[in-house]
Amino acid sequence: MVAHAGSAGLRLLADRVGLTAALSAALTRGSFSPGHDRGRVLTDVAVMLADGGEAIADIDVLRHQSPVLGPVASAPTVWRALAELTPAQLRRIEAARARVRRHVWSVLPGGLPASPVADTDLGETVVLDVDATIVVAHSEKESAAPTFKGSFGFHPIGVWCDNTTELLAARLRPGNAGANTTADHLHVLAAAIAQIPRRHRKNLLIRTDGAGASHGLLDWLTEQNQLRGRHVEYSIGFALTETLRQGIMLISEKVWTPALDADGGVRAGGDVAELTGLLDLSRWPPGMRVIVRRERPHPGAQLSIFEERDGWRYQAFVTNTATGQLPFLEARHRAHARVEDRIRHAKDSGLGRFPSRDFAINTAWLTATAIAADLTAWLRILALTGPLAKAEPKALRYRLLHVPARLTRSARRRHLRIPKTWPWVKDLVGVFARIAAIPQPT
């Protein structure tokens, strides 16, 4: 019996798109010949995380499937493999991921998915969402520290591609790292852009919350537009300072425009207006616009003294997009909230718990988490159809990855027998068939 037969599809997917071979080449050392290929070990850790594993010892679930998968490294070997990863090897891993991503994006059925906003889409624009999150540590670990939320642990920051849900880049940081640290934003954004295939870097949209509203980040994003053949737009949350509040008070009631819902309909109780012409923005990058949204708060919501004046709750963001109606630009910015789902999924696939006291091993674990997020995203867009293509990780595991099967042998061949009564048996068979049909990299 094979307990998690569907997870073999993730392993097959990694092999088919060339990820395993690329990682093996990146981690090859001339004077070292390990019993378990290090690229295979890292791939298996990513498959384990996508399959729901939470600790390195969970690799034994894949070892149970060795008659199907072949040799799988033991938990001690995984510990050694993660501990061996140096900063130089991690950079080679990122380069390998970028090459594999270029191949995956080139074989996407129908091309790169568009990022939907307000019942429309952003065409071929690649949308990058930046956000940080708290990961609580329940024991003393290297670089774990008190967080601004009163907990103790780490404060990693990452960049997700809204078009594909891939985790392009991430950086592990101590718990006391600032949410608005410009250097960390620049680091992960540069790494994320390097992950995007070159021909898709022409039109980028960078979204983040108010933590990204710094002169350093906005200046850097403005400079990106000066690069040949690249157009970078941004949509970034902006703090409601006293200057902005004074500008809001000058807005005439007839200037406010109804906001839009995610499906493109009018958002009840929400309006948008532009403040750009009412503010002195000489210290900010040229072309920056300030847009504010007001909304009737839900019952019991706490309002600031300024908001209690008229009963509206206000939020502002800045953008350098010169065209487009204000409701669309505001709905486009609000769609950044989807990154919270990406973070939740990542925490369900490795990000929610770092296994080691050693910061370097936890950094390697974060890299494996990013690879697991990529594998899940590629499974959705290359091999899944219908409702399963949008299913949460837990649903994918219950319906596909954790399906039991029986391994049989006949005519010198092995067969994986999936129960005919399993409700999603046709979906799983289709997944294996579509993965086998993916063109391999040349």
Residues 158-195 have pLDDT tens digits of 999 999 999 999 999 999 999 889 999 999 999 999 99
In sequence order, the 6+-apart residues with CB closer than 8 A to the CB of 304 are 240
Residue 83: left if φ>0, alpha if ψ -120 to 50, beta else—which one?
Answer: alpha
User: For residues 120 and 141, what is the distance between their CA atoms, to the nearest angstrom?
Assistant: 46
Residues 388-405 have pLDDT tens digits of 999 999 999 999 999 999
Per-residue pLDDT for 109 more than 90? no
pLDDT at 309: 81
CB 396 within 8 A of CB 9: no
User: For residues 199 and 182, what is the distance between their CA atoms, to the nearest angstrom?
Assistant: 27
CATH 3.90.350.10 fits 116-341, yes or no: yes
User: For residues 12 and 50, what is the distance between their CA atoms, to the nearest angstrom?
Assistant: 13
Rg over alpha carbons for the chain, rounded to the nearest Å, is 24
Domain ranges of the chain: 7-106+355-436, 116-341
Confidence of residue 208 (pLDDT cuts 50, 70, 90): very high
Burial of 250 (0-12, 13-18, 19+ CB in 10 A): exposed
CB 297 within 8 A of CB 270: no
Residues 257-273 have pLDDT tens digits of 999 887 778 888 899 99
**What CA–CA distances, in Å, run from 125 to 79, 146, 201, 382, 400?**
40, 38, 8, 20, 32
Burial 214-242 (b: 16+ CB within 10 A, else e): beebbebbbebeeeeeeebbbbbbbebee
Confidence of residue 47 (pLDDT cuts 50, 70, 90): very high
Confidence of residue 121 (pLDDT cuts 50, 70, 90): low
In sequence order, the 6+-apart residues with CB closer than 8 A to the CB of 120 are 264, 328
Query: Tokens 């979906």 sit at which residue?
Result: 427
Burial 407-419 (b: 16+ CB within 10 A, else e): eeeeeeeeebebe
Task: Show the tokens assigned to 258.
Answer: 């109804």
Residues 344-369 have pLDDT tens digits of 999 999 999 999 999 999 999 999 99
Per-residue pLDDT for 219 more than 70? yes
3-state SS of 197-254 is: CHHHCCEEEEEECHHHCCHHHHHHHHHHCCCCCCEEEEEEEECCCHHHHHHHHCCCHH
In this structure, how many other beta carbons lie within 10 angstroms of the beta carbon of residue 161?
Answer: 26
Per-residue pLDDT for 111 more than 90? no
pLDDT at 227: 82
Residues 58-81 have pLDDT tens digits of 999 999 888 888 899 999 999 999
Mean of pLDDT over the chain: 92
Per-residue pLDDT for 302 more than 90? no
Least-confidence region, from 171-180, 299-308, 333-342, 367-376: 299-308
Per-residue pLDDT for 218 more than 70? yes
User: For residues 241 and 378, what is the distance between their CA atoms, to the nearest angstrom?
Assistant: 42
CB 238 within 8 A of CB 268: no
Sign of CA dihedral 387, 389, 391, 396: positive
Length of the chain as a residue count: 442
Phi and psi, residue 397, nearest 5°: -70, -45
**What CA–CA distances, in Å, run from 111 to 106, 205, 207, 426?**
7, 18, 22, 25
Least-confidence region, from 91-105, 250-264, 381-395: 250-264
